[in-house]
């Protein structure tokens, strides 16, 4: 079986922009995407994040995230009509019905303030970030919705990458294969992840410490809820770049316990950290248990 690139044929032609001269690690980060049926017509639609540049753009030329409506095999750009053309330096996104109104909503992680779009059910979205209390202003990368306390409302975990500043100077030389490159993530300050508990009224409370998810800061890249121990409660994997991965087991009492080392997913088989980029749960051998796949940086094997 072979796959054929059909992006241009089906109408997915928007270029991705991320920096200009690649002087900083932010410029080397590309965005994410999510399939979800935003208009409930039975066809999955596509949201694609885009980047930005420290150099800025002329008026009207700033890149924006795109929402493509699936019209039976071809995609139509409905970004402007839907009101989801975020012009931040976006990194990733996650879709879920956070307010239980039957319409899938959208959360976008950014280098800067994240954005929560509430699906109004009319083909349009509203930016409710401030009202919902989920506008973390760090460098968000991966995000995942999951009902960790099984109260019927999905909660939200946001992985943050680097506490970045243009003025910060790395205390170590920035080399890759003995070639001078932009610094990071090693040599830069790691950022703290954030967990939000859904209050059930359209708002969230920052609940990182209370849930037992506050600990050492790492370079977070991806987060994903999944019940790896089959106890009926969602657990959480956080894939980190150049630092140990984290696996949080749900204790069923509103708290998590970190068990990545004992579960064998914190480090490589050689016991060293890897540049983890993303993670996915799936039962590849059909034994009823979630397996885990993690992608890693160049010259490192995936696991």
> Tokens 């929560």, residue?
116
pTM given for the model: 0.96
Burial class of residue 268, CB neighbours in 10 A (0-12, 13-18, 19+): middle
Residue 125: predicted pLDDT: 98
Q: What is the mean pLDDT of residues 48-60?
A: 88
Would you say residue 254 has pLDDT above 90?
A: yes
**Contact (Cβ atoms closer than 8 angstroms) between residue 208 and residue 195:** yes
Q: What is the mean pLDDT of residues 187-209?
A: 97
pLDDT per position as a tens digit, 269-303: 899 999 899 999 999 999 999 999 999 998 888 98
Give the start-to-end residue ranges of the domains of the chain: 1-126, 138-186+211-302
pLDDT per position as a tens digit, 76-97: 999 999 999 999 999 999 999 9
**Contact (Cβ atoms closer than 8 angstroms) between residue 198 and residue 253:** no
**Contact (Cβ atoms closer than 8 angstroms) between residue 64 and residue 83:** no
pLDDT per position as a tens digit, 107-150: 999 999 999 999 999 999 999 999 999 999 999 999 999 999 99
């Amino acid at each position: 079986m072979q796959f054929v690139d059909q992006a241009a044929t089906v109408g997915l032609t928007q270029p991705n922009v991320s920096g200009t001269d690649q002087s900083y690690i932010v410029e080397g980060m590309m965005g994410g995407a999510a399939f979800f049926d935003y208009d409930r017509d039975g066809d999955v639609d596509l949201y694609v994040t885009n980047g930005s540049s420290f150099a800025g753009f002329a008026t009207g030329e700033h890149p924006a995230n795109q929402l493509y409506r699936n019209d039976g095999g071809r995609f139509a750009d409905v970004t402007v009509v839907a009101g989801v053309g975020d012009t931040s330096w976006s990194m990733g996104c996650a879709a879920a019905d956070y307010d239980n109104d039957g319409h899938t909503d959208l959360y976008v992680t950014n280098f800067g303030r994240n954005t929560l779009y509430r699906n109004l059910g009319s083909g349009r979205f509203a930016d409710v970030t401030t009202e919902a209390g989920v506008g973390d202003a760090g460098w968000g990368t991966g995000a995942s919705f999951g009902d960790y306390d099984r109260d019927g409302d999905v909660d939200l975990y946001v992985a943050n990458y680097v506490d970045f500043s243009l003025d910060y100077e790395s205390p170590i030389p920035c080399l890759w294969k003995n070639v001078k490159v932009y610094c990071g993530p090693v040599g830069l300050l790691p950022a703290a992840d954030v967990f939000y508990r859904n209050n059930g009224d359209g708002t969230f409370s920052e609940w990182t410490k209370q849930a037992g998810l506050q600990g050492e800061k790492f370079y977070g890249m991806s987060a994903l809820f999944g019940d790896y121990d089959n106890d009926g409660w969602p657990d959480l994997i956080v894939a980190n770049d150049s630092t140990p991965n984290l696996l949080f087991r749900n204790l069923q009492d509103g708290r998590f316990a970190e068990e990545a080392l004992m579960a064998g997913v914190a480090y490589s088989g050689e016991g060293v950290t890897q540049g983890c980029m993303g993670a996915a749960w799936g039962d590849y051998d059909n034994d009823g248990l979630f397996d885990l796949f993690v992608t890693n940086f160049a010259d490192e094997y995936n696991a």
